[in-house]
Structure 1
C-alpha cells in the first residue's frame, strides 16, 4: 500500500476525499491529514508518505512552501495540488517543483482518479527500479568481495572498487567468519535476516560468497578486545535469529586487514568443514583444528580385516556396531580431517563391493553406485555413517541370500573361471560326480535360471566388456567367450542385448 497524506484548510474537502475514492482498491491508504502547511510539515518530519495531496492557499504555510520543505525531507514523494485558484503563476511554480498534476476545485473525479492511478504506477516503477539497482549493487559488492578474498584482484583495484561500492575496511585487524543456518533458507532469506539483525552496525561487512555462504568480515581495532566483541556479536545474532537455529559459526584467525584477509577467509572455510566431524558444535575456530590439518592423518589405518571377518561371519549387528565405533574413534583421532574421513568412507564402500564380487563372483553395481554418489554429495558425518551402514547391511543380506549347495557353488565357480571352454551339464556332471539331469534341476532351482540361460548371459556380459575395452574383431571376441560359431554368437548377443555386437561396438 502506498501512503497518502492530505492537506487542506477546508475540513469538508478532506472528508470528501476520504469518501469519493476507493483508496485500498487503488493500492493506497491515507496515513495522515492536516489543515495547514505548518501542521503538515511537523507531521511529515516523522511520518513517511509516498503521495502528498495539498491545497495551495492555507494559513501559516502555503502549499508551495510546504512542497519545497517536504522535498528536503522526503525527496521521492509525489505531489498533487488541489486549488481553487486558476492562476498560471501557481501552475508554473508547481510544475517547477515537479508536481504530478494541478487540479482545480471542484474536483473532476475522473481526472483525479486518473492522476492517482498514474502516480501509483510511477511509484511502482520507481520502486522496482530501486530494487533492481539495489540488487545489482549487492551482486557487484558480493562479487568484488569474493574475488578479493580469493586473491583474484590486487589491493589497488579492490581499494578503488570498495570506495565506489561503499565498502569500509578502516580497522587495522580483521577476522573472517562464516555463518550457516541450521535449516535451509529460501533465496536470500537468511542473508536478509542477518542484515536486519546487525542493523546499522559498521563493525562488520556482510556479504554472500559464490558458494552461497554468508560471510562476516569483522574489523578490529585491537586483538583481545576485538575477539570479545566478535563473540558478543555472534551471541546476539544467535539470540535474534531463533528460526534459523542452530546457527553455526566458523572463524578464521585474526589477521592484518592489509594483506591478511584472504588467509582468514580461507581458514574460516577450512574450519567450516569440521562441522561434518563435530555436528554438535555451533562454533569452530581455525586455531582449534589447525594441528589436525597439519598432522595429516599419517598414522590412520583402515583396519579392514576386522570388518572382513564380520562380513564372512555374516554378523550384521556386529558389523553395524563396528562402523559406529570406528567412526567415533576416527573423528577424535589426531590428524583426521573431513577429507580423510570421506576417503575412508569411499574405500569402505569399495571394499564392500569387492567382498561381494569375491564371494558371489558377480557385481551389484546399482546398489553401491548410489552409495558412492551419496557419499560424495553429503556434508554430514551422521549421513556418511548411515550410508555405510545401509551398504554394510545390504552386503550381508546379499551373502545370506546367496547360500547355495556346495556342488552348485562349484559349478558357478567353474563357469566364471572357464566360460571360454566347451562347458555342458554332461561334462560338469562327470567332473563333479552327479547326474546331468539332476544337476540341471538343482542349478535351475538355486540360481533361478536354466544352466544354458545362465552361461549364455554370462558369456554375453564378458563379450560386452571386450567390445568396450579392446580393439579385437567380433569373431575373435566370440571365440574368447566360448562361441565357435560367429552366427550363433550374433543371435545370442541380439537376444540378450537387443542389438548386434557390431552395432554395440559402434555405440561405445
Structure 2
C-alpha cells in the first residue's frame, strides 16, 4: 500500500517516516508534500492509496485539497492530521469523506499503523471482490452495497431494494470491548461473523431488505417498502425489523445492541445521506447510554456559535494547564463538560480526543500509556468524565502537593542542578553518581515530593528556556533545540507540542 504524507512541518514528516518499519508492514511512503498545491500534484503523479493530510498548510489547506480531490475523482483514502482543538475543520474533512483523523500533539505511531492496516485490508478486500478468477469484474453483494452507501448507484438494481420509502438503520454492540472478552481465544472477527450469520438468517425472508458490515462494530440494514405509499406503514415495518434483530441478538448471542434510524428517502442516490443520518442518530448513545433506539434529528454539530464556545473552553483548559493555573483549568473543564453534555454538540470521538489531549498534557511521558489504561472501554459521556476526572485529580493533586511543601535537601539540590544543567545529557545514573544516591530512589522521591516525574520536570525547564529563545529570531529552531538540551529536532518538536499545544514554528508565529 502506497502512502503520501502532506504536512508543512518537516519534523512531522520525518517523525512519521522514521518511527516505523513501513516496508515490513507491507506499506511504502512514496512521497512528501509541504503544501496543498504540491499535494495535489503528487496525488496525480504517484497515485497513492492513502494520504496523511495536515489540516493547516500553505497554498491550499487540507479542506481545499480534499474538496479538489473529490472534484477530480481521486480515490485515495485520507487520514487527517490536526491539533486536538481544531474540530471545525476536522468535521468538514470527515464530511468530505476522510477515513479517520489524528491529533498531532498526542498521536501514537502504533495507532496510525493500526488505522492504516484496516484501510489496507479494506482496499485489498475491495480489489479481491472486484476481480474474479478470470480477471473480469465480478462484484459481490457486499461490494455493491458498500458502493451504494458510498453514492455509486449503477448496480443498485442488483439488490433487493426499491426506490420507495427507503430507510437506513445502523447498529452497534453495547459495551463492545467488554463483550469481546467473553470470546477468549477468538478474534473480533468471530463475533462479527456470528452477527452477520444471524442477520442472514433473520433477514433472508424479509423482502426489500439488505445488510452489510460497515466497520468492526457498526452494521447497516437497508430497507424499502414499495408495496405501500404510506410513510407510516414503512416506518412501522422498519421498527419491527429493529425489534426482530435486537431481540434475536439478545436471545441467541446474549449481546445488547443500540440502533440509529434515518429519515425516509425515495431514491438510491439519497441512501448515502440516509446512512449518515442513521450514524448521527446512533451517536446519541454516547449521551443517553440506557436508550436502545434513536431516530435522526438535527443536532448542534454545525452551529458556529456553539462550536466557537467549545473552542474557547478548550483553549481555556489548555491555557490553565500550560500556565499551571489548575483552579482555572478545573473551572473550564467543568464548564466545557456541562456545555457539551447539555447541548450534545460534539461527537463521541471528538469528546474523547479532547480528554486524551488534556491527559497527554498532564501526564509524564513515561506514565502516559499506563495512565490511560482502560480508556478504550469507555462507552458514554458519564464514564469518560468519571474516568478522566480521576486521572486528572490524581496528577493535579501530586503537582499541587509537590509545590506546597519544602523539598528535602536531596531533591532541592537536584532541582537546582536541573535548572542550571538542562543543556547537558542528564540521566538517573548521572544524578545517582553526582548525589551519591540510588537512581531508583531519586526517581521515586522526586515524583513524591515534586508531583511530577524527574524527566517531565526537566522537559518543562527546557521548554520554558526554549520559549525565551524563540523570541530571538537570530536563532534557528534547530539551534534552539540544541541550546536547551535536545539532540533531535524531532524530539524537541514533539515535547514542545506536548507542553504548548503547538509546534515551535507556530509558537514563534504567534509572537508576531
Query: TM-score, with normalisation over the residues of structure 2?
Result: 0.46
Structure with higher Rg: it is: 1
**Higher RCO, 1 vs 2 (CA within 8 Å, ≥6 residues apart):** 2
Query: TM-score, with normalisation over the residues of structure 1?
Result: 0.46
